[in-house]
Structure 1
Amino acid sequence: MQKSVTCSVQSKISCIFGTQVIEIPSKKRFGQNYKIVATKQISKQALASDVKFATVTEKIDGTCCCVKKYQGQICLWARFDRKPSKSAEKRFKKFQNQHREWINNGKQGEEPRFKWNYPDDMKVVPQNWVPADGVERTGVGLVPDANGHIPGWVPISSDPRQYCWHHCVVVAGDSILVLLRNNGGLKITTVHMSELEGKTLELIGTHVNGNPYGLGSKQSPFHILVEHGQILVNNPPVIDYDDIKDWLNDKAPIEGIVWHCEDGNMFKIHRHHLGLEWPCDVTTPLLCQMPVTIEIEDSVMIQQSPLINKLFESETVFFKSLKDVLS
């Protein structure tokens, strides 16, 4: 029986399978001349975390956010990774090429290594930037991840213009968030931030990541938050490369799957790991194939919020699809 254990997303999630690099231009990352694909072997880390007993959820395609305190007040934070400077990035890419060649040549000779000079190798970040939980630290500072980034957060109040779409989902004096939840069906509702402290969420909508779910329009943009782990996968495939690929290809037009383990570790599979396209050109995303209702407290409805006002302009509380909301 699937256990309802879900975790917050603080850093990049590892693939549930082993991975390998192939020298083919990536369709996911522009300018990247290689692809990272899954092997058919479940990773040792996933097995050690008893991934077969994990909670299985849909991977949502948006931008990551979290709820935590800033200057004593709980607020919404946007993902902001600290990236290397131009000179450091050039050195790091050279190292990555050397490391791939070392792997492709059967790991002959000494393994290439890279040493970061923190913080000089990294770009300047906003003063209120904080590293994500779990970022590795040494005696000299923070350690970038395998991509050369240091995952982190900034409060959306730090740049209201840049984070204007984040601000759209915050109402009632910055204390309530507009969320999409899956409680016996999809529901657009509101939740006090105090109930979400320490949680991570995904912001999806018209102006996020190319809008793979087709929400809203340029004239009437629509953005909403989805708490990580909220959209459970019913009857998930067994953890087998071919079974998962067939399931995603034939039955589940979703970006991927995330496994939430009881020990707090998470593992994922993305369609691109399996050579599958995303977004799906032919099929409507699964998230938009389900009906959705609006359930918002009366006390919130009277707040001066453009999103809340728009949701109730039509006086409709039931929609056949998320795509029909503010369409």
Structure 2
Amino acid sequence: MTALDRVSTKLAETLPHAPKTTPTQPTTQFFWKTYKTPLIWINVIGIFLIHLTALIGFITFPYLYHKKTFVWCFFVGWAGGFGVTAGAHRLWSHKSYKAKLPLRIILILTYATAGQNRLREWVRDHRGHHKFSETDADPHNANRGFFFAHVGWLMMKKHPEVLKKGKQIDCSDLFEDSVVVFFEKYFWPLKLFFCFIFPTAVPYLVWNESLYWSVMSTIARYVSGLNFTWLVNSAAHMFGNKPYNRKIQPAENLLVSLLAMGEGWHNYHHTFPWDYKAAELGNYRVNGTTLLLDAFAKIGWAYDLKSPSRELVQKVILNNGDGSHR
């Protein structure tokens, strides 16, 4: 057993439990009676309008006559998803593997393609989510309901505990990476170009797609990517089985894994957050991110891939699982 496994075994014996409810800690039902969250109306209106536009695009898009544009959107969306899952999540948030400069450049550009928050904000929120999962200090606390965990948390001011505990999250390691420093400095130009301008220009200029459908398809792809990521915070914290730790809320969710490139095996991920696979796999079943990372590992661009031993996983399953493991 390696040193990492020995440390993990000790951690497994005291795996994080769902927070105990006390008279002073509000439950989901009681929460809304004791704390009212001020809405950020510009976010509410913006999120509503962009979703409405995307919905119109989905309903009216002539799929049979614009196949190239549809395939292009799928490719760009997939690239953006990889930037989130392999980059923001598994590399920069959890440091579950190391990446050489060419791969880090690919990851930061594909993350820009996803059009999400600044990387330092993404990492801070995610590390806080793991450290304070399902408490008031969790930025997208699933105890506040599906809608809040999915998108509502972006429409309102943060709970005071999120602000207070968020200051304890150390993200200084990010700025030891020159790629991250460059991205943070030029965040808006990179985001606007790779998420919106370039994906819109390609179909319009290369195969003479109409400007209307070039724009609409870009918006639909962008909104889809956001919701696939958000499902990890909402659906994967509410629906599914818990073969690794029955005492926490994150669950194994096949649909989320399909949509989020392997990020839906969430009971496993919260049990072993440092595993680069974010799942227990003997193959690449519904985990495209791991497939790509292993491919990059073969050419040496990804290395020091962390993963628990089979013995440790089995021990955790026997001691903490809900009996659903196969």
TM-score range, shorter chain: under 0.3
TM-score by length of 1: 0.25
TM-score by length of 2: 0.25
